[in-house]
């Protein structure tokens, strides 16, 4: 439906400079030139719009970065990574603003969990890139590098997106490549160890209730065609209602489900629910 896209676009503009909470459905519908009722024909609630928006843009951004990282040789990789990330952020500048704002601000646990999920996907990509470029020798400082790279990207976001600093993207990427290489080659004091990372993992998912999980699963099942994945999901749903299967079987079913792109989110939630790492 066209209407959905229109609402997402206009809402994004408002969210970008007011945030989720301060933007009312009224404002969105006015900007779209539609009535309040029409909004609720496209989205069940304001929260559903936000959730859909996060999915839509995050998937797009991650897909772009992943593609670039996969298809670039090691020599240029870091430069291309920075450059394409900045490009992608600039292309989706409104969404990036929203993300930065809401990452620290939203009270809604569902959004936070979702954002942290996509964040973990990006972290995986960056980590695999670091390992490819620098090899085993930086194993102990890989999380240091990860957080520094993320910081550099934040510097870009702050300067370019929030303060409109006149910065050349290629130059920016070059400069950050140099800084990253410096840190990778000479850092001797690792700051963030594997244990630290483990200790701070998933502080959010304890708030995901069975009811909420069942609701999302049922909705997804309805939208799926008959397949092994759908069958697996049905079994997982029954397991949630009345536990009967062994952990090994559950883990296997979750693995099955993960194959379908539209179920990745659910498999992530289930994995956390059953505390599988």
Partner DNA sequence: TTGACAATTGACCGGTTAGTCAATTATTAT
Partner DNA sequence: ATAATAATTGACTAACCGGTCAATTGTCAA
Q: In the bound complex, what is the minimum distance in angstroms from residue 234's beta carbon to a copy of itself?
A: 36
Q: In the bound complex, what is the minimum distance in angstroms from residue 186's beta carbon to DNA?
A: 50
Contacts to a copy of itself from residues 73-112, by CB under 8 A: 100-101, 104-105, 107
Annotate 80-119 with b (16+ C-beta within 10 A) or e (fewer). Answer: bbbbbbbebbeebebbbbbbbbbeeebeeebbbbbbbbbe
The site that binds DNA (CB under 7 A) totals a number of residues, namely 17
Q: Which of 1, 2, 199, 241 binds a copy of itself (CB under 8 A)?
A: 199
When asked if residue 275 is in the footprint of a copy of itself (CB under 8 A), the reply is no
When asked if residue 51 is in the footprint of DNA (CB under 7 A), the reply is no
When asked if residue 200 is in the footprint of a copy of itself (CB under 8 A), the reply is yes
Question: Phi-psi bin for 135: left (phi > 0), alpha (psi -120 to 50), beta?
Answer: left
- Residue 173: both structure tokens together: 């990427």
d(CA 185, CA 239): 49
Q: What is the dihedral of CA 63, 65, 67, 70, to 10 degrees?
A: -140
When asked if residue 5 is in the footprint of DNA (CB under 7 A), the reply is no
Q: What is the CA radius of gyration of the chain?
A: 21
Q: Which of 9, 17, 45, 262 binds DNA (CB under 7 A)?
A: 45
- Residue 103: both structure tokens together: 């990452």
Q: Which residues make up the interface to a copy of itself (CB under 8 A)?
A: 17-19, 21-22, 100-101, 104-105, 107, 144, 147-148, 151-152, 154-155, 159, 162-167, 171-172, 174-176, 178-179, 182-183, 186-192, 195-196, 199-200, 203
């Amino acid at each position: 439906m066209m209407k959905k896209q229109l609402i997402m676009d206009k809402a994004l503009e408002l969210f970008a400079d007011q945030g989720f909470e301060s933007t009312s459905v009224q404002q969105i519908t006015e900007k779209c030139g539609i009535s309040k009722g029409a909004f609720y024909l496209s989205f069940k609630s304001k929260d559903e719009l936000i959730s859909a928006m996060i999915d839509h843009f995050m998937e797009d951004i991650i897909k772009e970065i992943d593609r670039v990282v996969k298809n670039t040789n090691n020599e240029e990789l870091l430069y291309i990574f920075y450059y394409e990330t900045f490009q992608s952020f600039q292309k989706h500048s409104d969404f990036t603003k929203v993300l930065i704002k809401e990452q620290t601000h939203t009270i809604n646990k569902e959004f936070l969990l979702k954002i942290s999920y996509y964040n973990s996907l990006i972290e995986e990509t960056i980590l695999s890139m670091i390992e490819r470029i620098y090899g085993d020798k930086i194993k102990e400082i890989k999380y240091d590098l990860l957080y520094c790279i993320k910081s550099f990207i934040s510097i870009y976001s702050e300067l370019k997106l929030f303060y409109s600093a006149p910065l050349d993207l290629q130059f920016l990427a070059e400069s950050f490549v140099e800084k990253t290489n410096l840190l990778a080659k000479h850092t001797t004091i690792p700051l963030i160890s594997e244990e630290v990372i483990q200790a701070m993992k998933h502080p959010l998912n304890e708030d995901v209730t069975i009811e909420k999980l069942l609701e999302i699963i049922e909705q997804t099942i309805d939208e799926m065609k008959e397949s092994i994945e759908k069958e697996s999901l049905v079994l997982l749903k029954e397991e949630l209602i009345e536990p009967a299967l062994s952990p090994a079987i559950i883990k296997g079913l979750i693995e099955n489900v993960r194959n379908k792109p539209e179920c990745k989110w659910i498999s992530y939630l289930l994995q956390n629910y059953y505390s599988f790492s």
